[in-house]
Amino acid sequence: MAMLHLVVLPVLAIGYVALYRGVRRLAGWRKETVFVPWEDVVAVATRNMAVTVGGPAGIGWELHILPPDPERPGYSLAGAGISANVTSLQMALMQWELIRRYMEEGPEAVPESADDYSVAWYREEMARQKKRYEREGKPFWHYRLKCWMELGYFASWYTEYRVNHVLPKAAPEGWLAEWSQPLPEDEWAQPSAELTELSRQVEAAYERGETFLDLGPIEQRFGYDAAGETPKAAYPSVPFAAHVG
């Protein structure tokens, strides 16, 4: 079991990633960073269920943040988007509402970001759990063994590595800093009247003491009709720096 977790599984995971990237390069695929207008971004919550010979098992939820294909209404842009596991539909709604408020109202509208799933977070979590187990008079080594078998430390290290070394290469060197410079006010993109009105009504509902779970389907409640979409021009993109050349 120790050899399986320390040697075999990491080798299989790294080998799969290397093979996948090699096949993509042979096929001529290229990674690109795509810039999508905020109004075009959509969120979808899905429920996954594993079916075994004994019946349904392993029901879980995922939150997908997707840019639709501008040339094919009703379809998402191939290869683009982010997916994250969530514990329930309510958690998916909470995650999306935090992202929406951050994008439309600014950083002051959401709580401070947490350093979740980094190596420091893992060590702090182990310390918290150790105190809890000691307080309850339970053996802590059971919990630590479970985390070890689930590669908990490796997952935290790999998450931190991707944040610090992989994601910053999503655009050519120096480009992100240049792109982040503020634009003159006359060049600011303005949201549509429909989105502005929806945001205003949601903010008013919050001020009345309602929560996002109380609001229900926003489009139905406030009479917004998103039907009749037409194809648009393709989104701008730049090469993914790590794979240029």
Res 206 pLDDT > 60: yes
Positions of E strands within the chain: 32-34, 42-52, 55-66, 82-86, 237-239
pLDDT bracket for residue 10 (50, 70, 90) = confident
Res 181 pLDDT > 50: yes
Strands 82-86 and 32-34: unpaired
What is d(CA 131, CA 41) in angstroms, rounded to the nearest whole number?
43
What is d(CA 132, CA 56) in angstroms, rounded to the nearest whole number?
34
> Which 3 state secondary structure label does DSSP give 138?
coil
Query: Stretch 97-123: mean pLDDT, rounded?
Result: 80
What is d(CA 17, CA 200) in angstroms, rounded to the nearest whole number?
45
pLDDT bracket for residue 114 (50, 70, 90) = low
Q: Which range has the worst mean pLDDT, 41-45, 101-105, 227-231? A: 227-231
Characterize 6-21 residue by residue with b for buried, 16 or more Cβ atoms within 10 angstroms of its Cβ, and e for exposed.
eeeeeeeeeeeeeeee
- The residue type found at 204 is A
Res 178 pLDDT > 70: yes
Q: Is the pTM of this model over 0.75?
A: no
Q: For residue range 18-69, what is the model confidence (pLDDT) as tens digits?
A: 888 888 788 877 777 777 888 888 898 888 776 766 666 667 788 999 888 8
Between these two residues, 25 and 240, which has the higher pLDDT value? Answer: 25
What is d(CA 10, CA 185) in angstroms, rounded to the nearest whole number?
50
Query: Stretch 132-155: mean pLDDT, rounded?
Result: 87
What is d(CA 103, CA 193) in angstroms, rounded to the nearest whole number?
16
* pLDDT at res. 78: 77
Domain locations along the chain: 35-113, 115-180, 198-226
CA dist 244 → 21, 36, 63, 241 (Å) = 14, 21, 30, 5
Query: Stretch 87-94: mean pLDDT, rounded?
Result: 86
